[in-house]
Structure 1
Amino acid sequence: MVAFGEHLKANIAQEYGADAYLDYQGLDNIIQELSRTAPSGPDLQNRMVSLTTPPQTDARGLAVDNNSATEEQFLSKMDFELAKVEKFTLQKVSELRTKIDDTEKAIGTEEKEKLEARADEISNDFLLLEKYVNINFMGFHKILKKHDKNLPSYPCKAFYVSRMHAQAWVRGDYSDLVVHLSHIYSSLRDDQVAEENNDQQSFLRQTTKYWVKTEDVSRVKYYVLRHLPVFLQKTSTGESDSQFTNSVYLDNDQLELYHGRLEKAPGAIALRLRWYGNGDPKQVFVERKTHNDKWTGEVSVKERFVVDESEVYQVLTNTYPIEKKKAEMLAKGKSQKECDEWEQLVREVTQVCVSKQLVPTVRTQCMRTAFQIPFDATVRISLDTNLCMISERGYDLNDMKTWHRNPEWILQPNEITRFPHAVLEIKLELKGGNMTAPKWVSDLQNSGLIYECHKYSKYCHGCAVLLPEDVRSVPYWVDDISLRDSIIASGGGRILMDPAESNPPGANAIYDHLLPFGDANNDRSGTAVGRTHVSAAASKGITKDKATVNNIPTGFDMYDPNAGNIMDTDEEEGCCSWVFPFCSRYNNYAEAIVAPTSFQKIEPKVYFANERTYLHWLHYGVILSSIAAGILSFSDDSGESWGQWYALALLPVSLGFCLYALHIFLWRQDQIKNRIPARWDDPMGPILLGSTVAVILIINFCTQVYEIAKIDFAEDL
Structure 2
Amino acid sequence: MRFSERLSAGTYGPWKDNYVEYDALKLLLKTNEDYPTWEESDESKFVSALDKNLEKVYDFYKKTTDAIDKRVGRIEEEYEQLNSEDSEIDERMLEEFIKRLDAVAAEVVRIEKYTRINLTALYKIVKKHDKLYTAYSLRPLLQTRLHACPIDKANFNPILARIFTLHTQVRDELNSRKGETPAVSTRSAHERTSSKSLSTERHITYRFWVHADNLMEVKTFILRRLPVLYYSKNQRFEKDRDAVSGILDPTSTCLYLDNPGFDLYMQNMERSTKAYSLRLHWYGQLTPKTDIVVERMVREGSSLSHTEDRFVIREKNVHDLLQGTYDPEKKIRKMRDEPMQSGEAVESYKKLTSDVQKLIVDNHLQPVLRSVYTRSAFQIPGDNTVRVNLDSDLVLIREDCIDQDRPCRNPDEWHRHDVDEASFPYKNLRKGEIVRFPHSILEIREKLEPGQDEPGWVKELRNSYLVTEVDGFSKYEHGVGALFENYVSLLPFWFFNMETDIRKDPQSIYEASYPPKSIVGSPKPRINVIKNKSEKSKIPTIALNGQNFPKNTTEEGESSKDRSNPLLSDRFNLKSIPYLLKPSTYGSIQGYRTYETPSHIKKPLVPLRVSGPVRVETKVWLANERTFLKWLHVVVLMASLALGLYNSNTALFGRALGFMYTMLAVCIGFYAWRLHARRCDLIKTRSPEPMTEYWGPLIVGASLMFALLFNMSLAYKEAVFSGFLEREHVLVKLFTNL
CA shift at 1:10, angstroms?
A: 6.0
1:77 is aligned, of 33, 49, 59, to 49
1:23 and 2:21 correspond: yes
In structure 2, what is the equivalent of residue 94 of structure 1? Answer: 66
Task: Say which of 416, 426, 439 aligns to 2:434.
Answer: 416
Q: Does 1:283 align with 2:291?
A: yes
Kept after mapping to 1: 8 A contact 2:399/2:409: no
Between the aligned partners of 2:369 and 2:104, the Cα distance in structure 1 is 40
Residue 196 (structure 1) aligned to one of 180, 189, 198 = 189
Deviation per CA, 1:558-578: give whole Å up to 9, x if none.
Answer: xxxxxxxxxxxxxxxxxxxxx
Deviation at 1:528, TM superposition (A): 3.5
- Aligned residue for 1:448, secondary structure, equals coil
Cα distance in 1 between the residues matched to 2:253 and 2:518: 39
**Secondary structure in 2 aligned to 1:376?**
coil
- Matched residue, 2:491: 474
Give the equivalent residue in structure 2 for 1:438: 455
**1:305 alignment partner, SS class:** strand
Counterparts of 2:16 and 2:46, CA distance in 1: 23
Shift of 1:122: 0.7
- Distance, in Å, in 1 between the alignment partners of 2:213 and 2:99 is 24
User: What is the alpha-carbon distance in structure 2 between the residues aligned to residue 150 and residue 456 of structure 1?
Assistant: 40
Aligned partners of 1:179 and 1:240 also within 8 Å = no
Structure-1 residue corresponding to 2:264: 257
SS of match in other structure, 1:207: strand
Aligned partner of 1:116 in structure 2 is 98
Q: What is aligned with 1:624?
A: none
Helix, strand or coil for the counterpart of 1:370? strand
For the 8 Å contact 1:175–1:240, the answer to whether it is kept is no
Q: Residue 231 of structure 2 contacts residue 246 of structure 2 at CA under 8 Å; is this kept in 1?
A: no
Q: Distance in 2 between matches of 1:232 and 1:9?
A: 38
Q: Give yes or no for the alignment of 1:351 onto 2:363.
A: no
Q: Is the 8 A contact 1:387 1:422 kept in 2?
A: yes
Asked whether the equivalents of residues 326 and 339 of structure 1 are also in contact (C-alpha less than 8 Å), the reply is yes
- Deviations along 1:54-113, one digit per CA (max 9) or x if unpaired, are xxxxxxxxxxxxxxx733122112111111111110121111111112222233626210
Q: Aligned to 1:107, what secondary structure does the other structure show?
A: helix
For 1:357, the aligned partner's letter is H
Say which of 94, 105, 126 aligns to 1:144: 126
Q: Would the alpha carbon gap of residues 317 and 449 (structure 1) be closer, same or farther in structure 2, given more than 3 Å must change?
A: same
**429 and 546 in structure 1: CA distance in 2 versus 1, 3 angstrom threshold:** farther
Cα deviation 1:661-716 (Å, max 9, x = unaligned): xxxxxxxxxxxxxxxxxxxxxxxxxxxxxxxxxxxxxxxxxxxxxxxxxxxxxxxx
In 2, distance between residues paired with 1:396 and 1:23? 44
How far did 1:134 drift?
A: 2.9
Q: Which residue of 2 aligns with 1:529?
A: 504
**Which structure's relative contact order is higher, taking Cα pairs within 8 Å and 6+ residues apart?**
1
Contact conserved, 2:272 with 2:302, CA < 8 A, in 1? no
Task: Give, in whole Å, the separation in 2 of the partners of 1:441 and 1:359.
Answer: 39
Q: Measure, in 2, the Cα distance between the counterparts of 1:416 and 1:145.
A: 23
Q: Which moved more, 1:449-458 or 1:230-239?
A: 230-239
Residue 211 of structure 1 is matched in structure 2 by 209
Distance 2:519 2:481 in 1: 38
Alpha-carbon distance, 1:279 to partner = 4.2
| Residue 308 in structure 1 maps to residue 326 in structure 2 | no
Q: CA deviation at 1:285?
A: 0.5
For the 8 Å contact 1:41–1:154, the answer to whether it is kept is no
- Per the TM alignment, residue 326 of structure 1 is displaced from its structure 2 partner at its CA by 1.6
Q: Could you tell me which amino acid in structure 2 is paired with residue 27 of structure 1? A: L
Moved more, 255-264 or 420-429: 255-264
Partner of 1:571: none
- C-alpha separation in 1, matches of 2:47 and 2:408: 49
1:288 CA displacement:
0.9
Please tell me whether residue 318 in structure 1 is matched to residue 324 in structure 2.
yes
Amino acid at match of 2:298: T
One-letter code of the match for 2:479?
Answer: G
**How big is the shift at 1:419?**
0.4
Which residue of the partner structure matches residue 730 of structure 2? none
Deviation at 1:40, TM superposition (A): 5.3
Equivalent position to 1:128, from 104, 110, 113:
110
SS in 1 for 2:300: coil
- Cα distance, 1:231 vs structure 2: 0.6
- Which residue is 2:275 aligned to? 268
Any conservation in 2 of the 1:388–1:416 contact (CA below 8 Å)? Answer: yes
- Match of 2:691? none
Whether the 8 Å contact between 1:274 and 1:285 is mirrored in structure 2 is yes
2:293 aligned partner, one-letter code: F
Matched, 1:458 2:475: yes
Distance 1:103 1:652, change over 3 A: same
Offset, 1:38: 2.6
Q: 1 CA distance for matches of 2:305 and 2:263?
A: 22
CA distance in 1, matches of 2:59, 2:228: 29
Alpha-carbon distance, 1:321 to partner: 2.0
2:47 & 2:411 partners in 1: Cα distance?
56
Counterpart contact for 2:72–2:163, Cα < 8 Å: yes
Contact 2:465 2:509 in 1 (8 A): no
Q: What letter is aligned with 2:62?
A: L
* Contact 1:386/1:422, CA 8 A, preserved across alignment: yes
Matched to 1:309, the amino acid is: E
Amino acid in structure 2 at the alignment position of 1:196: A
Residue matched to 1:402? 414
In structure 2, do the counterparts of structure 1 residues 115 and 413 end up closer, same or farther at CA, with 3 Å as the change threshold? Answer: same
Q: Does the CA contact (< 8 Å) of 1:317 and 1:400 recur in 2?
A: no
Q: Which amino acid aligns with 1:426?
A: I
SS of the residue aligned with 1:529?
coil
Paired with 1:356 and 1:381, the residues of 2 have a C-alpha distance of: 34
What percentage of residue pairs aligned between the two structures are identical? 27
Q: TM-score, normalised by structure 2?
A: 0.59
Task: Give the letter for the 1:457 counterpart.
Answer: S
Q: Hey, what does 2:585 align to over in structure 1?
A: none
Q: Distance in 1 between matches of 2:451 and 2:56?
A: 57
Change in Cα spacing, 1:153 to 1:323, as seen in structure 2 (3 Å) is closer
Q: Could you say which residue in structure 2 is the equivalent of 1:13?
A: 12
Aligned residue in 2 for 1:566: none
Report how many aligned residue pairs link the two structures.
481
The CA distance in 2 between the partners of 1:235 and 1:127, in whole Å, is: 28
Which position in structure 1 is the counterpart of 2:379? Answer: 372
Cα pair 2:390 2:442 within 8 Å, conserved: yes
The correspondence of residues 674-713 of structure 1 with structure 2, limited to 5 A, is none
Deviations 1:336-368 (A, max 9, x none): 111111112111112211111111011110000
CA contact (8 A) 1:34 1:70 kept: no
| Aligned counterparts, 1:425-574, within 5 A | 425-434=443-452, 436-482=453-499, 517=500, 525=501, 528-529=503-504, 545=515
Deviation at 1:239, TM superposition (A): 7.8
Aligned to 1:104: 76
1:38 equivalent to 2:13? Answer: no
CA contact (8 A) 2:398 2:408 kept: no
In 2 relative to 1, CA 354–398 (structure 1 residues): closer, same or farther, beyond 3 Å?
farther
Query: CA–CA distance in 2 between the matches of 1:316 and 1:309?
Result: 12
TM superposition shift of 1:652? 6.7
Shift of 1:460: 0.5
Task: Give the counterpart letter for 1:243 in structure 2.
Answer: P
1:681 is matched with none
Within the alignment, does 1:246 sit opposite 2:253 as a pair? yes
Instruction: Give the Å deviation of 1:131.
Output: 2.3
Gaps of 5+ in 1: 43-68, 483-516, 518-524, 551-648, 656-717
Q: Which moved more, 1:369-378 or 1:232-241?
A: 232-241
Check 1:464–1:104 CA distance in 2 against 1; reply closer, same or farther (3 A cut): same
- 2:209·2:440 contact (CA, 8 Å) conserved in 1? yes
3-state DSSP of counterpart to 2:352? helix
Q: In structure 1, what is the equivalent of residue 727 of structure 2?
A: none
Q: Deviations over 1:503-527 (max 9, x none)?
A: xxxxxxxxxxxxxx3xxxxxxx3x8
